[in-house]
Amino acid sequence: MRVLLEYMIGGRVRFISHLDFMRAMQRTIRRAGIPIAYSEGFNPHPRLSFGLPLPVGVTSSAEYMDIILDGPMDTEEVRLRLNTHLPKGIVVTAAAEISPSAPSLMSLIRRADYRIILDTALPGLDSGIQLFLQQVEIPYDKPGKKGTSRINLRDSVFSLEPGEDATKEFLVSLKAGDSGSVKPEIIAGKVLEFTGAEGTVDTGLSIHRTGLYMYKGGQWVTPMMLKEG
């Protein structure tokens, strides 16, 4: 049985690495008594996988992972047991059974949305956003395991707009899961460059991931649409 989990991350948990988060989830599953399946071989591992890793320091409303169970279990019971044992700052908001043959979350997620908030008001923020959007090309040397590669930041952005307070926050929708994807703080830095206040990104910035999406049936939907039935 394969179960898809949607969860929130906030508080101090946002500062742990993705690897440490994976270990925390494995310990929680064991403590909760959830019958997770293990891989075969000399060094068996619990069968769980994650969607797009969350950058350190970023909070989120909707992250995703799936686990393979070694037998049937009510998905609501899975959710409740996990929430009883999870560290403060992590809450499972939904659980659903999905097909064992469904593609991996990592391969499906193609868009990530963020809300970026400045600690202090910046009257020129909206102008910086508009200048960013007017560019045809914004070169960026993206670091990688095989060295740096030159990409066009403008191509990495689906949408960019002011938030409720146009002087302190903005919303950005980014490509995810391919070579053209970039971290939200890179986009924030470029926007602030266009306002002439790029130094703000180093000291007064908070980032919240508002959603992850896959493209299915001609529209953007959350991975919870993989739910069977």
Contact between residue 129 and residue 32 where contact means Cβ atoms under 8 Å apart: no
Which residues of the chain does CATH 3.30.70.580 include? 2-106+222-226
Give 69's DSSP letter. B
Tell me which fold the domain 2-106+222-226 belongs to.
Alpha-Beta Plaits (3.30.70)
pLDDT at 200 (0 to 100): 54
Contact between residue 114 and residue 207 where contact means Cβ atoms under 8 Å apart: yes
pLDDT at 199 (0 to 100): 55
In this model, does residue 203 exceed pLDDT 60?
Answer: no
> What does DSSP say about strands 149-152 and 139-142: parallel, antiparallel, or unpaired?
antiparallel
Contact between residue 208 and residue 114 where contact means Cβ atoms under 8 Å apart: yes
User: pLDDT band at 187, cuts 50/70/90?
Assistant: very high
In this model, does residue 202 exceed pLDDT 70?
Answer: no
The one-letter amino acid code at 55 reads: P
Average pLDDT on 24-34 reads 93
In this model, does residue 229 exceed pLDDT 70?
Answer: no
Residue-wise pLDDT for 106-122, tens only, equals 999 999 999 999 988 88
Q: What is the share, in percent, of the chain residues with pLDDT greater than 70?
A: 96
| Alpha carbon distance 109, 176 (integer Å) | 7
